[in-house]
Amino acid sequence: MTKLRLFALLLAFAPALGFAAGPAVKLESAGTDLSDKASLQRGAGLYMNYCAGCHALSLHRYSRIASDLDLPPELVEQHLMPAQARIGENIHTGINAGDGNAWFGKAPPDLSLTARAKHGGSDWIYTYLKGFYIDEARPMGWNNTVFPGASMPNVFWELQGIQRPVYDQGADGQPHLVRLELASPGRLSPQEFDRVARDISAFLEYVAEPAALKRESIGVWVLLFLAFFTFIAYLLKLEFWRDVH
C-alpha cells in the first residue's frame, strides 16, 4: 500500500519533473511565419549550405521542398542538392554515424522532426543557433546556452561573429552565465543574423510538419466562407422580418 501511495505521489509530481527537464535559459521568440514563402526559401538555401553536410532530413524529399516552397526543380537541382543526389530522393548527408561519432563525439542527428521534438519548437532552434559562445574547455572550442556541452561546432561564427560569455557570481558562490556579448563582430549585423536564424528555424518548423503550410492556406478560405455565409444569413434575416413588420 505504501509503495502504491509513493507511486501515486510520484505521478502527481511528474508534470513538475517534466518542466524541470526544459531548457535552463529563457528561449527567444523566433517570430517565424510559415506563410512567408521568401523566408522559407531563404531557410532552405541556408540549410542546404550550412547544415545538410552534417544533418539529414531523411523524412523529406528534395522534390517536396521544391513544390511546397514554389522553387523550380532545376534551381533546387543546381543549387540546393549535392551533385550525386536525385530530385526524388530523400535528403541524406555525406556523414555516416560512425564518422560523426569519431569527429564530434556524437553523430549529428537527423533534423526531420526536431522542431516538433524540442520543448519550445522553432524557438528552441532559434535560441540554439544564436546561443553559441567561445569556451576553450570544450573539444570544439564552442559551448551553447540552450544546449550546454553540445558537440556541434558553431557553423555561423563568420556570419555572426564570436560571442563571449559574461558571468555573474550567484547566491551559491558559483559563476552563472548571465548573457553573451559580441567579442568580435561577424560579416552580418546582429539584426541580419537574427534573420538568418529565423529563416532556418522557420524552414525546420515547416519540415517537421509540412501539412502546416496547407492548413494555414485552407484556414483563410474557411474564414472567407464563414464571412460570406454570415452575410447571406443576414440578408435572409432581413428578408424574413420584412413580412413580420
Q: Which residues bind ligand HEC (CB under 6 A)?
A: 50-51, 53-55, 104, 106, 108-109, 111, 114, 125, 128-129, 150-153, 155, 200
Nearer to ligand HEC, 97 or 235 (CB): 97
Question: DSSP state, 172?
Answer: T
Between the alpha carbon of residue 217 and those of residues 35, 126, 129, 222, the distances in Å are 8, 24, 29, 9
* Of 153, 134, 120, 154, the residue nearest 26 (C-alpha): 120
Closer residue to ligand HEC in complex, CB, 73/85: 85
CB of 115 to ligand HEC, least distance (A): 8
Which grid cell sits at 27?
Answer: 528561449
Min dist CB 138 to ligand HEC, Å, is 10
Give the Å distances, CA to CA, from 197 to 62, 76, 123, 183, 211.
Answer: 21, 21, 10, 19, 22
Say if strands 90-91 and 132-134 run parallel, antiparallel, or are unpaired: unpaired
Of 34 and 200, the one with the shorter C-beta distance to ligand HEC is 200
Please state the closest distance from residue 174 (CB atom) to ligand HEC, in A.
23
Residue nearest to ligand HEC (CB): 51
Query: How far is Cα of residue 22 from the mean position of the Cα atoms in its chain?
Result: 16
Render 198-216 in DSSP notation, one character per residue.
HHHHHHHHHHH-THHHHHH
> How far is Cα 13 from Cα 5, in angstroms, rounded to an integer?
13
Minimum CB–partner distance for residue 232 and ligand HEC (Å): 48
Q: At closest approach, how far in Å is the CB of 106 from ligand HEC?
A: 4
Query: Nearer Cβ to ligand HEC, position 105 or 170?
Result: 105
In the complex with ligand HEC, the residue whose CB is nearer, 26 or 106, is 106
